[in-house]
Amino acid sequence: MASPAEKYLQPEVIRQVARLDLRAKFIVEGFISGLHASPFQGFSVEFSEHRKYSAGDNISDIDWNVYAKTDRFYTKRYQAETNLTGYLVMDLSGSMGYTYRQQLTKFEYAISLAAALGYLMIHQQDPVGLIAFDRAICQSLAPKSKRSQLGNILSLLAKLKPEGETEIAKSLHQLAGMLRHKSLVMIFSDLLADPEPIYKALHRLRHSGHDIIVFHILDEAEAMFPFDGMLELEDNETHEKLEVDADAIRADYLDAVNSFKATYKKECQNARIDYVSVHTGQPFDKALMSYLNSRKGRG
């Protein structure tokens, strides 16, 4: 019997991920390597620091690339290259199980993004693990870099159901208390909760030295509002219902959504957190490629 994870691994999604890997190999290597701890910003993570060349130093340790840029002699002091540890952090709120007319719910879309990033990290031989939360962290998988890890992650995700209420900020604070070493924290959520506590939780993670990417995932209908006439809205978490005139509220709704995203983007930029806004109407591999390209452009 086929594993539930194969929905995200084969045949379509894995082909997309494989194509992404082939098209973006040079981007991804720079993206992941750029996040590795390096005390000397802008240079390879293979060495711990540069120092000025002194008489008696081994001439073979001179960094000629630095000389070409500075016209000064520096030698490289090496350290063992350390792997970057990644965590895929998944929101299990009921609202993540929503889709209006797309093939994938927000949660399934998040799994596809996570599969691509997990695949790319393991390709770089970087360990990656999984954290899933609702009111608190409820599932975790320790980071590993072996090839079977992606299947382990997807098998666990395939068993999880996005349902009920969530406490994003509380869960992120809990995560911050769990992480002992600098990590790459990739958060997948629709962020449908009071934003102020979430900002504080994200800032705590960032101030602890972690690199953070927030994938803000909305359904196409939530992002574009393709409705007309009278419409009944239902809260996926509380199941409260409200009847509205779609034509009358469209402009205000879209203004509110765009303001919501713009505020998150600004808060994240101020904290040097990567914020990636996507919706389920966008092919996930193209959305990820666009982000990786923008990351490379900032490098």
Q: State phi, psi for 234 to the nearest 5 degrees.
A: -130, 130
Q: What are the C-alpha distances in Å from 10 to residues 13, 151, 168, 284, 285?
A: 6, 11, 31, 15, 15
pLDDT at 21: 47
**First-residue to last-residue Cα distance in the chain:** 45
Write the single-letter amino acid at 210: H
With 0.85 as the threshold, say if the pTM is over it.
no
Q: State phi, psi for 253 to the nearest 5 degrees.
A: -60, -50
- Structure letter (DSSP) for residue 81: P
Give the closest residue to 190 by CA, choosing from 268, 140, 257: 257
Give the closest residue to 214 by CA, choosing from 66, 115, 113: 113
**Tokens 């992606």, residue located:** 150
pLDDT at 40: 33
Tokens of 30: 């720079």
CB 286 within 8 Å of CB 276: no
CB 90 within 8 Å of CB 8: no
- Helix/strand/coil for 25: helix
- Please tell me the distance from the alpha carbon of residue 99 to that of residue 128, in angstroms, as a whole number: 28
* Structural domain spans, the chain: 6-32+84-298, 46-78
pLDDT at 148: 87
Regarding the domain delimited by 6-32+84-298, which CATH topology (the fold level of the hierarchy) does it fall under?
Rossmann fold (3.40.50)
pLDDT at 115: 83
Q: What are the C-alpha distances in Å from 29 to residues 56, 80, 139, 196, 211?
A: 36, 18, 29, 34, 16
CB neighbours of residue 298 within 10 Å? 7
* Helical segments of the chain, H only: 6-9, 12-35, 64-70, 106-123, 148-159, 168-178, 195-207, 220-224, 246-270, 284-298
pLDDT at 60: 67
Say which residues have a Cβ less than 8 Å from residue 199's Cβ, sequence separation at least 6: 267
Q: Which residues, listed in sequence order, are joined to residue 256 by a DSSP beta bridge?
A: none
- Please tell me the distance from the alpha carbon of residue 259 to that of residue 247, in angstroms, as a whole number: 19
pLDDT at 56: 63
pLDDT at 297: 56
Q: Are strands 230-234 and 211-218 parallel, antiparallel or unpaired?
A: unpaired
pLDDT at 47: 46
pLDDT one digit per residue (tens) for the chain, 299 residues? 555 455 555 455 555 555 544 444 444 555 555 555 433 333 333 444 556 766 666 666 677 777 777 777 767 654 444 568 999 999 999 999 999 998 889 998 998 888 888 888 887 788 999 999 999 999 999 999 998 898 888 888 888 899 989 999 999 999 999 998 889 999 999 999 999 999 999 999 999 999 999 999 999 999 999 999 998 888 766 778 889 999 999 999 999 999 999 999 999 999 999 999 999 999 877 788 788 777 765 55
Torsional sign, CA 131, 177, 143, 207: positive
